[in-house]
Amino acid sequence: MMKKPFVAGNWKMNTDSHTSVRLADDIAAGCSQTAGRSFEVAVIPPFVYLQAVVRTLSASSIAVGAQDIYFEQKGAFTGEISAAMLKDVGCVYVLCGHSERRHILGETDRMVNRKVQAAISGGLLPIVCVGELLEERKAVQTDQVVKRQIKNGLDGLNDEKISAVTIAYEPVWAIGTGLTATPQQAQEVHALIRQMLAEMYDNQAAKEMRILYGGSVQPDNTAGLMAQQDIDGLLVGGASLKADDFLKIIQEAI
């Protein structure tokens, strides 16, 4: 059975209290008119607009996710947000290990793993992001980097916990740069990830896990990416900030 395509929009540090609600509203209105295969959509706004966006989307089937989480449950961690807080405001998903957090904010594989564990224990569904830098691709280290990130990021998850996880392969050189991995380049890495998951968990679990592609996804490159056997959906940054583009991507993906 084919998996439902899953399209998630990461708004990063964009929008304000007015535009976040309007964007959510426009996406919900567009999705309600989108006919075709069944599909799943999530939006991932900045923390401070989560509640307003959850409220705006309450009558829709669009899920809301957070861009990050902290791995401790509560206490003296100024500025951090726990799984329970995200759950309390209506989040379903949470990004763990987005490349901007790994490379700008210094998140390590170990921190990503603790965030994934905290998310699952708190009843959230983590979207675990992996991907190589340009110099790593040039040095033919893509497989090695992605394998390390997957192995460390999912460390300690059993067969039951892994079913909560979605993986996003996002080559860092393709994020926000306008450069996209070709469908073949993306498929090669997705197949590698699927193979690794089959070795770490059972074959059925590996088949059922969703592996999203992210990196300068636009309406005109969606169909080629989604035609690949191991690409189950898309994590969209820049293009998710324009309702029309995001809706076109969803339409192309289903």
- 214 scored as a contact of ligand PEP (CB under 6 A): yes
User: Residue 122 or 214: which CB sits closer to ligand PEP?
Assistant: 214
63-76 in b/e burial notation, b at 16+ Cβ within 10 A?
Answer: bbbbbbbbbeeeee
Neighbour tally for 177: CB within 10 Å: 13
- 235 scored as a contact of ligand PEP (CB under 6 A): yes
Q: Which amino acid is at 83?
A: A
Q: How far apart are CA 23 and CA 244, in angstroms?
A: 10
Q: Which of 98, 100, 107, 190 is catalytic?
A: 98
- The three-point CA angle 82-87-88 to 5° equals 95
Span near ligand PEP by CB under 6 A; candidates 62-70, 106-114, 117-125, 214-222: 214-222
Span near ligand PEP by CB under 6 A; candidates 71-79, 101-109, 201-209, 237-245: 237-245
Q: Which amino acid is at 219?
A: P
Q: How far is the CB of 215 from ligand PEP (least distance, A)?
A: 5
Neighbour tally for 246: CB within 10 Å: 24
Contact 50, 87 (CB under 8 A): no
Q: Is 98 a catalytic residue?
A: yes
Span near ligand PEP by CB under 6 A; candidates 69-77, 132-140, 188-196, 236-244: 236-244
- 217 scored as a contact of ligand PEP (CB under 6 A): yes
- 236 scored as a contact of ligand PEP (CB under 6 A): yes
Q: Is 40 a catalytic residue?
A: no
What is the DSSP secondary structure assignment for residue 157, as one 8-state letter?
Answer: -
Q: How far is the CB of 46 from ligand PEP (least distance, A)?
A: 13
Span near ligand PEP by CB under 6 A; candidates 118-126, 192-200, 215-223, 246-254: 215-223
User: Residue 102 or 114: which CB sits closer to ligand PEP?
Assistant: 102
- 107 scored as a contact of ligand PEP (CB under 6 A): no
* Helices (H) then strands (E): counts for the chain: 12, 8
Tokens representing residue 160 in the block: 């039951």
Q: How far is the CB of 230 from ligand PEP (least distance, A)?
A: 18
Helix, strand, or coil here: 230? coil
Tokens representing residue 1 in the block: 């059975």
Size of the residue set binding ligand PEP (CB under 6 A): 14
Q: Which of 107, 132, 136, 170 is catalytic?
A: 170
User: Residue 125 or 175: which CB sits closer to ligand PEP?
Assistant: 175
Residues 169-208 that bind ligand PEP (CB under 6 A): 170, 175-176
Q: How far apart are CA 37 and CA 26, in angstroms?
A: 20
Out of 10, 20, 67, 82, the only residue in the binding site for ligand PEP (CB under 6 A) is: 10
Q: How far apart are CA 42 and CA 132, in angstroms?
A: 24
Contact 187, 228 (CB under 8 A): yes
Residues designated catalytic: 98, 170
Query: Would you tell me which residues interact with ligand PEP (CB under 6 A)?
Result: 10, 12, 170, 175-176, 214-217, 235-239
